[in-house]
Structure formats: C-alpha cells, structure tokens
Structure 1
C-alpha cells in the first residue's frame, strides 16, 4: 500500500457524501451521488458503519429515521434488510462500501473515509475498513470524531493518512460531559492519535487548532456552501450545494 502525504490531499475540494441532491432524486451517500462526483472528478467524503452481520456499509446518520423512515440504527439490521430500505423514497438503497469504491475508482479524486462510532465493535469496523481500502487503487485517508478510532489507525495502520474530526464545544449540545466536549472541541486527544489533519467545522476555530496547522497538520473545512471562499483559510474543503473547480492550489 502506498503511503500518502499531505501533498496528495491539499488543495482539493471534496464532495460531501457524494455529489448529492436530496431534492432531485440523488440522495446523500448513494451510488448515484458517488457516480456523479466521480464523473466530475471531485474528491469525495463519505461515512462507513457496520451492519449487524458485520458488513461495512456507507451511511451517515446515527439512526435510519431521517433517510430511510425506519426506526433504529444501521448496526441493528443485517445487510439484507438494510438494502431493502430506500434512501429518501428513491430507488437508491444503502450501499456496501466495496460497491461505492467500485464506482469511485472510475475517476474520483482523493477519498476521505469517516468511520462512525459503533461502540464495542469499533475495532471490527476499523479492521474491516482497513482491509477493504488495501485493494483500492485511488488516494484515500480516514477520519473520525472518535479519537480512539483515529488512534487505532495510528497503532495498526500508521501508513494510512489520518484525521481528527472536530467541532465547537457548544455543538455537542449537552450530549457529552462538559469536560469531554471541551477536550474534543480542542482536539486535546491529539497526543494519543497524532492526526495528519484536523477536519474542523467552518467558523471560529480554537487557537490551539490553528497552532497545530502552523506545525504542519493540515486544516480541512466542513461543510462549505461557498467552497472557493472557504478555501482561502484551509488546506482542503469538504463542500455541498455548490460547484467549485476540482482544485484550488497545487499540493
């Protein structure tokens, strides 16, 4: 497996959950959305989770309610049932990660794979994602909000470029203990997982995050609705609802 560097990811625009249009029959994280992104040549950001029978699928939300109209989590259902569920009442269904990669290898730019937290099965998700990516010929990296997932890759796949997702403390909306929210918002677990990049929500970033950028850690913006404007203060931009060029600077 080739070991990628910052130059392989800098200056790209990444289509958030594919080049989707939820209002016109191309739902997020669907094969149609990834096909559209690959046809344009954009970089892509997507999300992976586990089904109950251990298959790696592409889906973002913690629950199936918003996208599929079904109560429960992805990990509560086997693949066969998940693939019977329709995405936003379209013909599209929850895709296998391997099927998405088969589409993206047709021309997409670099790939950012976000691993969602699946509790005690996090190591299984990490291991299976790593093994699937080993056969992907394109440029890829991984990221997660969960610093322990990022740490898993540091320990078990140090050759894979890795990133810490983060957002302001207020965005956790009381879902986590205050101290933990403060630590996550400030990327204070970076001494454990040594991220190559920090993907931070657009807006005011903590000074300590900006200091890390000065030390060579990439800063990635999410999720931009004006990608060319947000490119000015970030090394890469994850976008939606706009159509930027493929790149804005040479890596």
Structure 2
C-alpha cells in the first residue's frame, strides 16, 4: 500500500503531470467564467432596435428652470426632442407603480419617508421640488409617451419580493410602444427572464464595490463583474461609463457582442468619449 501510494504521488507531481493539471484547471476556470458572464445571444436583432439612441435620464429635466426629473413635463420635453426616455419605477404601499428614482422622498419632496411606505393618494399630495408637479403614475407616463419614443425602464427593487415586476408587467400589458427593462437587482432581471422572455432586459452595473453598503460586498462584487449573468442572461449591459474598463464588461462587448449602454453621461466631453465605445447613451445636463 505504501509503495503504491509513493508511486502514485511521484507520478502526480512529475513536471508533465503538474503542467497538464495546470492547463486543465486554467481551461476549466476560463470556461466557467465565460459561462457565468455570458449574455443572452439569440435576441440580438430585437435588442438592436433599442441601440444607437440617446436616452434622456429621468426625462429631459431641468431643475433650474422648474422641470423636475421623472415628471410629466420632463417626459414631454424628451418626446418633443425625439429622445428615448430612461425612467425609474417602484411600488407604493397600496400597490401602484409610480415613476420615482430615490427610495426616500427627502431629496425631491422634502419629506422624511420612504416611497413604499406611502399610498399613492399620500404621494399625490406632495410636490416635486416645490414646482407644482407631482409624482406620476406609470400609466400617466405611458399615456403621454404613447409609443412615440422607446422607454428604458429601470426597476427599483429594494426588497426580495418581486411584486413590483408583477404589477409593472400588468401595467405594460396593453402598451403598444417599444420598451425594455433594466435593473441593478438580479431578482428583477431574473423575473423577466422566467416570466417575460419576450421582453428585452438589461443588467445595470458599475464599480459597486468602491463604496459597498454594509453586508453587501459579495453581492456587489458579483454584479460588478457580471458574474450573475448566468442567472439573468441579459440582452444588454448598462454600465457606468467611467468604470467601463471592467474585464467582464469588455468581454460582453467584444467577445459576446452584447449591446451596451453608458450611464450617466453628463457633459458633451463625456459624450464624445463614449461615442463608439457604447451602443447607446443615457444622458443628462445637456443635449446629446
């Protein structure tokens, strides 16, 4: 037994065997990594309809001139200018889908409360930056846009429940205009993968580990490096343009030829740097 073990050990640790093992390990690691980060490939044609566009971030807003973000006037201005629209949706306490970015109301409505803790009736009594404009329902935005420009809908999902996705899907069921969805939260993107595979979906990401929330470093690490793509198989990657040197992003773009979007481009100089590096831009603060 001892002699057999000695012979086996010697064979395993000969130079050629160690080299072969290293090659096998490296090939396996690379194959697994590529499997994890790969996007959905068969829907490139459908995804292309959302590419080569500029999307007005939260509408074509102008806070200095009384047009707040994610407001009906901001969306009307974007439609008038022919821009696609990026907007944010989340759920109220009574199950309404509203268009609003922050999880709390403090910045936009000067109220110390969370959006999901209020009913829509309570939210409708608040003003956006004291302009007289209120938080719109998604249905109001859909009626205003009416398919004139494509919508890029970011799903805000701060809890494990995907009820927001269910209600969003219901709200969009009869909408005839072009739209796609995206989210940082893989649960939202996965819901669409499982329940609405016909809808174009995107993974939002950035260098999330630069300032992680408490207890979420591992989660942020996975999303930053797109290692959750095997769960969601997104059609496009929406990445913070300053962080686009990320290897997983570059492999999605150049190896898998996934569609890419840059967020949030906030100057003409940044826009010039992004042209040719991304398929579409999400912009604010200037006219792209």
Q: Tell me the TM-score normalized by structure 2.
A: 0.80
What does residue 238 of structure 1 align with? 282
Q: Which residues in structure 2 correspond to 1:164-183 (within 5 Å)?
A: 164-183=203-222
Residues 1:152 and 1:77: Cα distance change in structure 2 (over 3 Å)? same
1:126 aligns with 2:170: no
Residues 1:223 and 1:105: Cα distance change in structure 2 (over 3 Å)? same
Cα displacement (A) at 1:134? 2.1
Cα displacement (A) at 1:181? 1.8
Residues 1:234 and 1:140: Cα distance change in structure 2 (over 3 Å)? same
Does the Cα contact within 8 Å between 1:56 and 1:97 map onto a contact in 2? yes
Look at both structures and tell me which one has the larger radius of gyration over its CA atoms.
2
Which of 76, 81, 84 is equivalent to 2:125?
Answer: 84
Does the Cα contact within 8 Å between 2:212 and 2:220 map onto a contact in 1? no
Cα distance between partner residues in 2 of 1:77 and 1:169: 29
Which of 53, 61, 68 is equivalent to 1:12?
Answer: 53
What does residue 58 of structure 1 align with? 99
Cα distance between partner residues in 2 of 1:178 and 1:35: 39
State the secondary structure of the residue aligned to 1:233: coil
Structure (1 or 2) with the greater helix fraction: 2
Which of 183, 192, 212 is equivalent to 2:252?
Answer: 212
State the secondary structure of the residue aligned to 1:36: helix
Q: Which residues in structure 2 correspond to 1:1-251 (within 5 Å)?
A: 5-105=46-146, 107=148, 109-120=149-160, 122-205=161-244, 206-214=246-254, 215-225=256-266, 226=268, 227-244=271-288
Cα distance between partner residues in 2 of 1:177 and 1:50: 23
Does the Cα contact within 8 Å between 1:166 and 1:199 map onto a contact in 2? yes
Cα distance between partner residues in 1 of 2:213 and 2:159: 19
Q: After the TM superposition, which parts of structure 1 deviate over 4 Å for at least 4 consecutive aligned residues?
A: none
Stretch moving more, 202-211 or 96-105: 202-211
Cα displacement (A) at 1:217? 1.4
Q: Aligned residue pairs: how many?
A: 240
Superposition RMSD in Å: 1.5
Stretch moving more, 159-168 or 173-182: 173-182
Ranges in structure 1 where 5+ consecutive residues have no aligned partner = 245-251
Does the Cα contact within 8 Å between 1:150 and 1:195 map onto a contact in 2? yes
Stretch moving more, 228-237 or 217-226: 228-237
Does the Cα contact within 8 Å between 1:142 and 1:160 map onto a contact in 2? yes
What does residue 248 of structure 1 align with? none
Residues 1:176 and 1:141: Cα distance change in structure 2 (over 3 Å)? farther
Residues 1:231 and 1:69: Cα distance change in structure 2 (over 3 Å)? same
Ranges in structure 2 where 5+ consecutive residues have no aligned partner = 1-42
What does residue 39 of structure 2 align with? none
Q: Tell me the TM-score normalized by structure 1.
A: 0.91
- Which one scores higher on RCO, CA 8 angstroms, separation ≥ 6? 1
Cα displacement (A) at 1:231? 2.3
Cα displacement (A) at 1:138? 1.3
